[in-house]
Amino acid sequence: MSSEREEISELMLDFERRGGLLPAIVQDASSKEVLMVGYVNQPALDETLSSGYATFWSTSRNELWTKGKTSGDLLKVKEVLTDCDQDAIIYIVERVGRGTCHTVGKDGKHRRSCFYRRLKEKKLEFIEGSE
């Protein structure tokens, strides 16, 4: 059984399902690599659409946060996708700056993606090039 959100062209994002927040997956436009996951409320989405740069709701600081505004590692949004029931989004981005993650590798540079380790045999191992 499909919901009304599944087959319409009207934007009806379901912010209420998770207490006002939508998960926002960030994907690199050229490599298709998943760079990070954040949370978006209506003001964060509005700021993203207005500025063209990925903005989130910081759940730790309880404030809007434009990724890279202070570090220079901005995420220029090329496209925004939503899932079938409009309760999650994907920002397709072009990276502006050195990296995406706030952590740094052994080389002292910010990591390209927040997903730099994989689970293997109940342990985490670094993905090649991200140490």
Does residue 23 fall inside a structural domain? yes
Confidence of residue 50 (pLDDT cuts 50, 70, 90): very high
Q: 26: closest CA among 18, 38, 14, 41?
A: 38
Does residue 32 fall inside a structural domain? yes
Residues of the chain above pLDDT 70, percent? 97
> What are the Cα distances from residue 118, in Å, to 9, 109, 124, 127?
37, 20, 5, 7
The pLDDT assigned to 29 comes to 97
Does residue 9 fall inside a structural domain? no
CATH number, residue 73: 3.10.20.810
The CA distance from 95 to 82, in Å, is 20
Which class for 48: exposed (0-12), middle (13-18), buried (19 or more C-beta within 10 A)? Answer: buried
Q: 94: closest CA among 68, 119, 62?
A: 68
- Sole residue written with tokens 């949004």: 77
Does residue 108 fall inside a structural domain? no
The CA distance from 122 to 37, in Å, is 22
- What are 93-128's pLDDT values in tens digits? 999 988 888 888 888 888 889 999 999 999 999 988
Q: Looking at the 3D structure of the chain, how many domains does it have?
A: 1
3-state secondary structure of 51: helix
The pLDDT assigned to 121 comes to 92
* 8 has pLDDT over 80: no
Best mean pLDDT range from 5-9, 15-19, 79-83:
79-83
The CA distance from 101 to 21, in Å, is 21
Does residue 56 fall inside a structural domain? yes
Confidence of residue 1 (pLDDT cuts 50, 70, 90): very low
Q: Where are the alpha helices (H) located in the chain, listed in sequence order?
A: 42-51
Range of the domain at 78: 15-103
Does residue 3 fall inside a structural domain? no
* 4 has pLDDT over 50: yes
Whole-prediction pTM: 0.88
Does residue 77 fall inside a structural domain? yes
Does residue 89 fall inside a structural domain? yes
